[in-house]
Amino acid sequence: MTDYIRNIVNNQNVTSQATLIRGATILSMDENVGNIERGDILINGSTITAVGQNLDVSGAHVIDATNMIAIPGMVDSHRHAWEGQLRRINPNATCLDDYSNATHFSFAKYYRPADIYVGNLLTALGAIDAGITTMIDNSHNSRSAAHSDAAVEALLDTGIRAIHASGAPVAGEWDRGHWPGNWQRLQDKYFTNNPESLVSLAVMAQLEPELMCCDYPSLQNQHVFAESEGSGAPDGSCVDEMGYLWNAEWGGNRVVRYRPDGTTDAILTSPGIQSTCPTLAGEGFTRLYCTTAAVGLTALSEYDGALLKAKSDLSPGLPENRFAAHTV
């Protein structure tokens, strides 16, 4: 039994009538379809079934897209969807502390599952309205199992394609007993028997020294993979050809390369204080790129809030694993 109503969106009648977008300039981002100067898009239900020129479908609802551009929805790779109703409450924030005081250390501590649901619903619907059809929901206010359920259900109800990255709260009292087993419970309840779901599950890392890992895709055998011995906290990661994990440390001025057993193999010092996410790219995947953040820093250098690049003599990286829609 929940304390929120899920039919805010679901009570709308969904027609099965075909829809034909007529006469658009199509930028498909698909090498098999290409770009079409003046073309049509046929949609049956929620599925694009044809893209081409002069499509003729009897009885279809026609949208005249003359002089308009049709493109795939955009992707937002970083949202805290639970904060949807808190937008515009802190317009003059100048640092991370200002943001945290207005969210994690105040409102977040008193969120009910219903508040999580409303926040995620507002965020996802607002994203769709802005042309964003895919997002990563970094949800660092999973105060209980019911809060996590509400977050996932709101994303499912909007119809957005999303990765829900469940994360532990930053402040206040919360049900620590459901963490980190919450990941497996969410997987079993919403995703294991629903392979066609537009929403999938991930884990949001917090500013803690441990790097967690588990079996995939079962999410079983959750345990500490490695623990940072530096002054920073683990942030974004990538994996190279040998299966070694490269992890950027927020506030630690470095990127650490871990062996598959979790022991440290190499430490690369970074001129940026807040390293955020590394990747191996370029020719032969031998260039190390790493982003850094400037938020919260009072004395900035050219390396803060930047994209850094270095030549790596260690193992090459791997080709990207693209997140894409199902093939029609």
Question: pLDDT band for position 136 (50/70/90)?
Answer: very high
- Per the model's pLDDT, the better-predicted residue between 249 and 219 turns out to be 249
- pLDDT confidence of residue 322: 60
245 contacts 258 by C-beta, under 8 angstroms: yes
Measured distance CA(135)–CA(127) in Å, rounded: 8
What is the pLDDT of the chain when averaged over all its residues?
87
Does residue 265 carry a pLDDT above 60? yes
Q: For the segment 276-327, what is each residue's pLDDT rounded down to a tens digit? A: 999 999 989 999 999 999 887 878 899 999 999 998 888 999 887 664 444 3
For residues 18-33, give the mean pLDDT: 92
Residue 254 has pLDDT above 90, yes or no: yes
CB 176 within 8 A of CB 29: no
More reliable by pLDDT, 108 or 182: 108
Q: Is the pTM of this model over 0.85?
A: no
At 197 the pLDDT is: 85
Cα 204 from Cα 155, distance rounded (Å): 16
**Among 4-13, 86-95, 144-153, 180-189, which range has the highest average pLDDT?**
144-153
Strands (E), 244-306: 245-250, 254-258, 264-269, 274-281, 287-293
Smallest CA-to-CA distance from 74 within 145, 161, 190 is with 161
- pLDDT over 70 for what percent of the chain? 93
The residue assigned the tokens 């119809």 is 159
Output 141 or 320, whichever has higher pLDDT: 141
